[in-house]
Structure 1
Amino acid sequence: MTKLVRFQLSLMMFLEFFIWGGWFVTLGTFLGNNLNATDVQISTAFSTQSWGAIIAPFIIGLIADRFFNAERILGFLHIIGAILLYMMYISTDFSGFYPLVLGYMIAYMPTLALVNSVSFNQMTDPAKEFSFIRVFGTIGWIVAGLVISYVFFWDAPAAREEGMLKYTFLMVSIASAFLGLFSFTLPKTPPSTDKSKKVSVVETLGLDALGLLKDKNFLMFFIASVLICIPLAFYYQNTNPFLSEIGVENPTGLMTIGQVSEVLFLLLLPFFFKRFGFKITIIAGMLAWSLRYILFAYGDTGELMFMLITGIALHGICYDFFFVSGQIYTDFKAGTKYKSSAQGLITLATYGVGMLVGFYVAGLITDAYLVGDKLHDWQNIWLYPSSFAFVVLVLFALFFKNEKIDKKEIEI
């Protein structure tokens, strides 16, 4: 890979996640402050991510992989996304905003697979080269949060009251338009599937890997993966509004600690995996989910501020130790025959079905603990996902039998 190609791929990955992190983190706060959305409406808006995840395999498997170069459809989707983001920026009510965010997530979610395809197509040794490229995505997400909090101060209390968070959509609309045009300059990535070959919906969605569920251990892992996405939805939907409501300064910038933590714990994961095994690693990830929400429930902006910061910093363990470990385990169990299908099945089940249910439940519970017009009883709200994550942990610990994973499968 030449230096020019490495720069192109790094910039592509940076912008891909800068765009997502630049509006998704503050979405709940924006909807509540700018559009006076209810908690149930906010959860409905967040659930568009899940609908996008469910529809994305059709776009990639039935269209992109057969008829178009990946970089071209990437460019087209981001240009469409730029238009939708601008329309979201000028929206004045939730009824007009919702179809825009739904359309945007249907266009955006397929790009997550496309940027990977473009990257892998230029690599001779993805196991060694991809992490260097992918880390720029995490950096992009972090930079977006820092820009919102420390450059433009859009999430400051006075700015929120003035509705300044709408400018996050304008910022990422410009970035999306740039990435859309830039994508057409990326190295050519031709279709990976023969047009004449029939591709079934079952294969596209990874449903041909359902046979793996006959394995009791994989079935237990699969169920736990779906269930743990319910407390995960609480984090995505409620953390920024929670921090903003209780008076934390620069909440969006503070939340980038979670992405820094994600990078650090990703580096520690291979050691932890080899030392303690898959089962303990997964249990550690689920325990971190439960502990995080306890810290959110009892922390405050005074002497207990450290509890909120610790809860955010646990994101690395929560995400890496469960989801990245789960991807490794899925790859190990699937073998050569179902390698791609199994990953698609887990993604569909977690980010699709699991989080769709999670956002719905989070909306109902958050709305049930509304105090007055806009304030919430956050302590009771956070205890729900904490308890739920702990129950999933106990079930997994009881019914999942530990397995040894081939050492070659844990190279990250």
Structure 2
Amino acid sequence: MGESIKVRLTIMSFLQFFVWGAWLITIGNYCTKTMKWDFSEFGAIFSTMGISSLFMPTITGIIADRWINAEKLYGILHLLGAIALASIPSVNNPGTFFWVIFGAMICYMPTIALSNSIAYHVLKNHQFNIIKSFPPIRVWGTVGFILAMWTTNLCGFKTTEGQFYIAAVSAVILAVYAFTLPACPPQHHNLEEKNSTKEVITNAFKLFANYKMAVFFVFSMLLGASLQLTNMYIDTYLEGFSKFPEYVNSLVVKYSTIISSISQISETLFILAIPFFLKKFGIKKVMLISMLAWVLRFGLLAYANPSDGLWMIIVSCIVYGMAFDFFNVSGSLFVETSCNPRIRSSAQGMFMMMTNGVGAILGSYISGIVIDTYFNSGDRLNWTGIWLTFSVYALVVAVLFAILFRHKHSPKDLADISH
């Protein structure tokens, strides 16, 4: 029975990120190459993930904490999201495109936090150690993301509307599957004190009154911007080498999405190493390692190319796994052990709001404007300058985090999460 529960959560994780991987990395090529919109317009479109994450994860977290089973809400959101995704190909101007994909993101972004909450709830109910059990389940989400990227590339959809149809179909499958998951009822049903909705919201935002939590959420925002930058531009960057005669027939250009998927393959390795690193170094050092990994990733991309600089592209993709996993997964576990059970879904939603919300908006809008203003000559982009700018940004964030985030490693933290 226990192992079958893990398998069911694994399928959920796989489909959750398959939906996203089908279009997230390739939408840049669709918008800037196929639709021929400029980078500031694309930045606005990509920011829909951030805008929706400002409020939807928190709202749905509160709903799941108070009124409706998390797995049912999860299924409803994916079904509505599928409808929006299937509508995207009918749009041919950036203004309308913004609102349609915004609708899709309103439905999708909160499901990331909900999937974490569902997994934690089910694992705890079946007496599993979350530290040991959750990473192997979550790693299959990365596998789903990778296979979706490969599907989009190999089917010839990385610059076409086909990527959105793949995402829509997989979202429908996940929506149906969600209703078969174990029940995850609102937590107040299991507590003697039934707080008001206003109190749940107030308590969630009171987390900012705690210095450590406030600093954590601020740096979640800043790291969310780094993640947004690499998701927005990596495939466009690799595809851009096609403008150079010596690289036009290179594997990097033909299979840019598959090459960039090395980043997600790396995730599958680093996510399994998280329990060891958390136990050995503690949450603060693991997060700091993540930030320094972003510095290295961007720095390598600044000087890479498809021939003698191919190793830089590959190493930067490998480093991505550490940069992404070490903050996002350890951050989620940090929230899980630092918050009252009554507001954990809300707190997870707030974590998503800061990373994929505020941080994503800043990363999308500001980077698009900066690129168009300083690094876009009209014919070619100065990718060396772009990536070096991003690298310096990540370095400043890392230094500030090391100074300002006060958290001492304690084995008790991990023990609290496990129970």
Q: Shorter-chain-normalised TM-score: which range?
A: 0.7 to 0.9
Corresponding position of 1:396: 401
Pick which of 271-280 and 360-369 moved more: 271-280
Question: Which residue of 1 is the match for residue 157 of structure 2?
Answer: 154
In the superposition, relative to structure 1, how do residues 327 and 108 fare at CA in structure 2: closer, same or farther (>3 Å)? closer
Partner residue of 1:130?
134
Check the 8 A contact 2:28/2:232 in 1, yes or no. yes
Contact 2:207–2:214 under 8 Å retained in 1: no
Contact 1:15 1:137 in 2 (8 A): yes
1:383 aligned onto 2:381: no
RMSD value, Cα = 2.9
| 1:233 counterpart residue number | 228
Equivalents in 1 of 2:8, 2:176: separation in Å? 13
Matches within 5 A, 1:268-279: 268-279=273-284
Q: Which amino acid letter does the alignment assign opposite residue 26 of structure 1?
A: T
Q: Write the letter of the residue equivalent to 2:289.
A: A
Q: Which range moves more in the overlay, 338-347 or 220-229? A: 338-347
Distance 1:311 1:10 in 2: 28
Among 168, 173, 179, the alignment partner of 2:174 is 179
CA shift, 1:397, in A, is 3.2
Determine if the alignment matches structure 1 residue 111 to structure 2 residue 111.
yes
CA distance in 2, matches of 1:186, 1:400: 38
TM norm structure 2? 0.85
Aligned counterparts of 1:356 and 1:58: Cα–Cα separation in 2 = 16
Given residue 48 of structure 1, which amino acid in structure 2 is its aligned partner? T
Determine if contact 2:65/2:342 at 8 Å carries over to the other structure.
no
CA contact 1:206–1:343 (8 Å) conserved in 2? no
Instruction: Report the counterpart of residue 142 of structure 1 in structure 2.
Output: 146
Q: Deviations over 1:335-379 (max 9, x none)?
A: 778766654443322222122112111111121245454631111
Shift of 1:395: 2.4
| Equivalent residues of 2:61, 2:349 under 8 A apart | no
Q: CA 1:388 to 1:205, structure 2 compared with 1: closer, same or farther past 3 Å?
A: farther
The corresponding residue for 2:18 is 18
Gaps of 5+ in 1: none
* Contact 2:15 2:174 (8 Å CA) reproduced: yes
Aligned equivalents of 2:343, 2:62: Cα separation in 1:
18
- Give the Cα separation in 1 of the matches to 2:6 and 2:401: 41
How far the C-alpha of 1:103 sits from its partner, in A, is 0.5
CA contact (8 A) 1:295 1:311 kept: yes
Q: Partners in 2 of 1:256 and 1:82 — Cα distance?
A: 24
- What is the deviation of 1:381? 0.9
Q: CA distance change for structure 1 residues 201 and 298 in 2, over 3 Å: closer, same or farther?
A: farther
> How many residues end up aligned between the 2 structures?
400
Cα distance in 2 between the residues matched to 1:359 and 1:326? 22
Letter in 2 for 1:44: A
Counterpart amino acid of 1:244? E
Secondary structure of the structure 2 residue equivalent to 1:228: helix
Inter-partner Cα distance in structure 1 for 2:373 and 2:136: 44
Change (3 A) 1:82 1:31: same
Instruction: Quote how far apart the aligned CAs of 1:330 are.
Output: 4.7
Whole-Å Cα distance in 1 between the matches of residues 85 and 309 of structure 2?
A: 37
Letter in 2 for 1:125: Q
Contact 1:121 / 1:189 at 8 angstroms: preserved in 2?
yes
Conservation of the 8 A alpha-carbon contact between 2:135 and 2:272: no
Determine if contact 2:26/2:235 at 8 Å carries over to the other structure. yes
**CA–CA distance in 1 between the matches of 2:106 and 2:294?**
28
Query: Per the alignment, in what secondary structure is the counterpart of residue 187 of structure 2?
Result: coil
CA distance in 1, matches of 2:176, 2:282: 45
Q: TM-score, normalised by structure 1?
A: 0.86
1: CA distance, partners of 2:121 / 2:279: 30
| Aligned residue number for residue 287 of structure 1 | 292
- Residue 238 of structure 1 and its aligned partner are, at CA, apart by 1.0
CA–CA separation in structure 2 for the residues paired with 1:67 and 1:220: 31
Partner residue of 2:198 out of 197, 200, 216:
200
Residue 362 of structure 1 pairs with residue 367 of structure 2? yes
Task: Extract unaligned runs of 5+ from structure 2.
Answer: 243-251
After the TM superposition, which of the residue ranges 18-27 and 125-134 deviates more from structure 2? 125-134
2:14/2:143 contact within 8 Å kept:
yes
C-alpha deviation, 1:84, in angstroms = 0.9
Cα distance, 1:279 vs structure 2? 4.2
Q: Quick one: distance in 2 between partners of 1:229 and 1:297?
A: 20
Q: Distance between the aligned counterparts of 2:350 and 2:73, measured in 1?
A: 23
Q: Which amino acid aligns with 2:384?
A: Q
Q: Partner of 2:325 in structure 1? A: 320
CA contact (8 A) 1:57 1:205 kept: no
Identity of aligned residues (%): 33
The answer for the alignment partner of 1:167 in structure 2 is 162
What is aligned with 2:238?
243
Distance 1:283 1:2 in 2: 35
Query: How much does 1:240 deviate?
Result: 1.3
Q: Does 1:56 align with 2:56?
A: yes
Is 1:57–1:204's contact at 8 Å kept on the other side of the alignment?
Answer: no
1:112–1:324: structure 2 CA closer, same or farther, 3 Å change rule?
closer
The residue type paired with residue 57 of structure 2 is: P
In structure 2, what is the Cα distance between the partners aligned to 1:201 and 1:29? 45
What are the superposed Cα offsets for residues 39-68 of structure 1, whole Å, 9 maximum, x if unpaired? 111111111111221222354244344333
Structure 2 CA distance for aligned equivalents of residues 83 and 21 of structure 1 = 17
Q: Cα distance 1:58–1:284, how it changes in 2: closer, same or farther (>3 A)?
A: closer
Q: Which among 184, 187, 193 is matched to residue 189 of structure 1?
A: 184
State the partner residue of 1:92. Answer: 92
Residues 4, 231 of structure 1: alpha-carbon distance in 2 compared, 3 angstrom cutoff: closer
Following superposition, the deviation at residue 120 of structure 1 comes to 4.0
Distance in 2 of aligned mates of 1:176 and 1:282: 31
